[in-house]
Amino acid sequence: MITLEVFDEFSPLLEVVLGTPESFGGIPKKDDIYDPKTLLNVKKGTFPVEEAIKKELDAFHQVLMGFDVKVHRPEVFKSLNQIFARDIGMVIGDQFLLPQILDKRSRELKGIHFIIDQMDANKLLKVGGSVRIEGGDVMPCRDHLFVGYSKKEDFDNYIVSRTNEAGVDFLIENFKSWKVKSFELKKSNHNPYENALHLDCCFQPIGKNKALIHRAGFKNQSDAEWIIDFFKPENILELNKEEMYDMNSNIFSISSEVIVSELKFNRLNQQLRDWGFIVEEIPFSETAKMEGLLRCATLPLRRSYA
């Protein structure tokens, strides 16, 4: 039986699902692409090869194992991109949320069925109807649940809009002990520099009181200001447009002291060290060409609150 316990982004990680690059399908057809960064790299001829992505995921796996984290990997399905495990499920408190995600990604859920089967069925919460939620948009932070979303007009017009108002309402209804705080994200189907695909593409809490943010990723600047006030300006690192594009906010916390980051994130990694974090640097820039990084590749199941 798998025990579920996730109340934040930064308590010591005990158990996680890490995406797999095996048989990820190679260069996608343009009709099968649903984010502007992937499309840009396909057009430029710089889309990553499986060998390069495997090297990066293997490096991530080794770091996790080095901190005694129990790592699950999805069952591999041929010619299916199963790298970004974050969006196909999420643990909030002691419940596993089975989301309703983009139709083109629904096959990915099959890859973790054998993991879900090891959970208490009473702790499974399935999304249905018009509700849309992806894990990259949902961040537990102690008593708060931060959620990125799009209102109806944007959700209907942008394929990069993944969580809707019904998704926010669903979380409010089913997680009454949490303070759900939702933020509208800025979307673009064609310009990756103007698109916050998920909340973790423009914001992430780290450590016990710090956060990374790219203001322009929010449709309403009042939301960005709320976050800065919540964490306090001295605890915030603001990311520029290039850093957002490179996915600087999509790092991953093994604990409140240890963060896994891309080795080329020089300014970010130095700031993290200045703040007192241990930074485990690994290559992940090839994977980032598909508009996802370290947080996107993980689905935490259990953190320690002893």
User: How many residues are there in the chain?
Assistant: 306
CA 231-233-238 angle, to 5 degrees, is 95
Host domain of residue 212: 13-303
- Dmax over CA atoms of the chain, in Å, equals 49
Q: Which of 263, 255, 252, 257 is nearest to 277 (CA)?
A: 257
Give the whole-number percent of the chain exceeding pLDDT 90.
91
Q: In what order do the strands lie in the sheet with 124-126?
A: 90-92, 95-98, 124-126
Query: pLDDT tens, 26-59?
Result: 899 888 888 999 989 999 999 999 999 999 999 9
Residue 1 lies in a domain: no
Alpha carbon of 26 to those of 235, 250, 297: distances in Å?
A: 40, 23, 17
**Which residues share a beta bridge with 184?**
149
Residue 273 lies in a domain: yes
- 211: domain CATH number? 3.75.10.10
pTM: 0.96
Into how many domains does the chain fold?
1
Residue 270 lies in a domain: yes
> Which residue blocks in 123-199 are alpha helix, DSSP H?
152-157, 165-174
Residue-averaged pLDDT of the chain: 95
Residue 263 lies in a domain: yes
CB 290 within 8 A of CB 37: yes
CA 201-301-130 angle, to 5 degrees, is 60
Here the contacts of 74-78 (C-beta below 8 Å, separation 24 or greater) are 74/17, 74/19, 74/20, 74/108, 74/111, 74/112, 74/115, 75/110, 75/111, 75/112, 75/113, 75/114, 76/20, 76/22, 76/23, 76/111, 77/23, 77/107, 77/110, 77/111, 78/23
**DSSP-derived 3-state class of residue 196:** coil
pLDDT band at 70 (very low <50, low <70, confident <90, very high): very high
Residue 5 lies in a domain: no
CB 251 within 8 A of CB 295: yes
Query: pLDDT tens, 230-262?
Result: 999 999 999 999 999 999 999 999 999 999 999
Q: For residue 24, with 0-12 CB atoms within 10 Å meaning exposed, 13-18 middle and 19 or more buried, which class applies? A: buried
**How many C-beta atoms surround the C-beta of residue 76 within 10 A?**
13
Residue 105 lies in a domain: yes
Residue 6 lies in a domain: no
pLDDT band at 117 (very low <50, low <70, confident <90, very high): very high
Tokens of 170: 């669903």
pLDDT of residue 14: 98
pLDDT of residue 30: 83
Residue 66 lies in a domain: yes
pLDDT band at 23 (very low <50, low <70, confident <90, very high): very high
